């Protein structure tokens, strides 16, 4: 164990090296020049080596002193880091927090968490935007982003996995009664489908084959919408089959307004992450939101249900 006296000597040594003289180090530490010099001398005596080569006009490190200085700087940095980490955890979240959320998922599942957090921490001010574009937190000055989909590798961002967006091919009971349910992926071609698309392009439906490999199926859409809630409404109205996220149709599956028409076919899932700029210490205002979302969504997300099937 390092004694307080030796730690004092280490601090005096580092301050003297960084200041370039005992006089300046003494001013920074609020000590006398002789006090700093004596602390370093006692440290040298304890170590049995000369750390600083000094004359009346010259101050320089010995080889042993340079090596010891480098080690001390790393050790003191670790102590400062540990102290800052503990301090940040004890501080109540406060200040401005800028968050960007996916339109529908953000409103339905993240916004309630943010409102609860805001009620618990009145010093926290939130600026929340909703968008489905790929936001750059660094460029746009955003503290926290919730993303659905694969992430790009980045040395300047940190991500925490919140869960997986699973999907089901679903339809209203009335549609199934009139047209039956598809028996395979290829069987989708004979059904009316409601698809997501924009600018003349439609998104394929993504499945997972028996071999575990992804299958991309381009389906012909009777209706094409660029908003997932519109797809849901059209499916509930009996207008066809729709591939929809379980977090969007959880209530419909629970009440039977929609049914899973292909329960034996796996769909491709997409990871859900909280993403924020990499910093030395995670700010309390970001930590409280990330921790709350992890607790709410893991290990079983609140929208998971035993869905109605046909």
Task: Write down the pTM of the prediction.
Answer: 0.68
| Predicted pLDDT at 76 | 78
| Predicted pLDDT at 223 | 94
Q: What is the DSSP string of the chain?
A: ---HHHHHHHHHHHHHHHHTSHHHHHHHHTS-HHHHHHHHHHHHHHHTS--EEE-SS-EEE-HHHHHHHHHHHHHHHHHHHHHHHHHHHHSPP-EEEEEEE-HHHIIIIIHHHHHHHHHH-TTEEEEEEE--S---HHHHT-SEEEEESPPPP-SSEEEEEEEEE-EEEEE-HHHHHHH---SSSGGGGGS-EEEEEETTEEPPEEEE-TTS-EEEE---EEEEESSHHHHHHHHHTTS-EEEEEHHHHHHHHHHTSSEES-TTSEEPPEEEEEEEE--SS--HHHHHHHHHHHHHHSSS-TT-----B-
| Predicted pLDDT at 280 | 66
Positions in the chain whose pLDDT score sits under 50: 307-308
- 195-207 pLDDT per residue, tens: 999 888 999 999 9
Domain map of the chain by residue range? 4-90, 96-158+272-297, 167-267
Residues 261, 263: Cα–Cα separation, whole Å: 6
Going by C-alpha positions, the residue among 229, 213, 210, 47 that lies closest to residue 130 is 229
| Predicted pLDDT at 101 | 96
Tell me if domain 96-158+272-297 and domain 167-267 are identical in fold: yes
- 220-233 pLDDT per residue, tens: 888 999 999 999 99
Fold of the 96-158+272-297 domain:
D-Maltodextrin-Binding Protein; domain 2 (3.40.190)
Q: Are 6 and 46 contacting, i.e. CB atoms less than 8 angstroms apart?
A: yes
Fold of the 167-267 domain:
D-Maltodextrin-Binding Protein; domain 2 (3.40.190)
Q: Across the strands, what pairs with 266?
A: 208
Q: Across the strands, what pairs with 59?
A: 54
| Predicted pLDDT at 307 | 47
Fold of the 4-90 domain:
Arc Repressor Mutant, subunit A (1.10.10)
């Amino acid at each position: 164990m390092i004694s307080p006296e030796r730690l004092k000597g280490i601090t005096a040594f580092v301050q003297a090296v960084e200041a370039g003289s005992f006089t300046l180090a003494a001013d920074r530490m609020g000590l006398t020049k002789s006090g700093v010099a004596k602390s370093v001398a006692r440290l040298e005596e304890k170590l049995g080596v000369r750390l600083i080569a000094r004359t009346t006009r010259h101050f320089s490190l010995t080889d042993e002193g340079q090596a010891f200085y480098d080690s001390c700087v790393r050790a003191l940095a670790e102590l400062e880091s540990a102290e800052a980490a503990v301090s940040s955890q004890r501080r109540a979240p406060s200040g401005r927090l800028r968050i960007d959320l996916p339109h529908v998922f953000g409103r339905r599942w993240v916004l309630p968490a943010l409102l609860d957090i805001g009620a618990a921490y009145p010093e926290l001010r939130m600026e929340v935007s909703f968008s489905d574009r790929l936001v750059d937190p660094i460029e746009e000055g955003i503290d926290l982003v919730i993303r659905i989909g694969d992430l790009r590798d980045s040395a300047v961002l940190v991500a925490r996995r919140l869960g997986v967006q699973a999907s089901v091919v679903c339809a209203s009971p009335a549609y199934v009664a009139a047209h039956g349910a598809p028996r395979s992926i290829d069987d989708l071609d004979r059904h009316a489908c409601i698809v997501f698309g924009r600018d003349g392009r439609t998104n394929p439906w993504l499945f997972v084959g028996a071999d575990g490999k992804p299958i991309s199926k381009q389906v012909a859409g009777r209706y094409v919408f660029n908003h997932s809630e519109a797809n849901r409404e059209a499916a509930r109205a009996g207008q066809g089959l729709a591939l929809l996220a379980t977090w969007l149709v959880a209530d419909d599956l629970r009440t039977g307004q929609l049914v899973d028409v292909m329960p034996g076919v796996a769909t491709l899932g997409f990871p859900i992450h909280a993403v924020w700029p990499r910093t030395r210490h995670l700010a309390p205002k970001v930590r409280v939101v990330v921790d709350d979302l992890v607790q709410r969504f893991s290990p079983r997300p609140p929208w998971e249900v035993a869905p109605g099937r046909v």
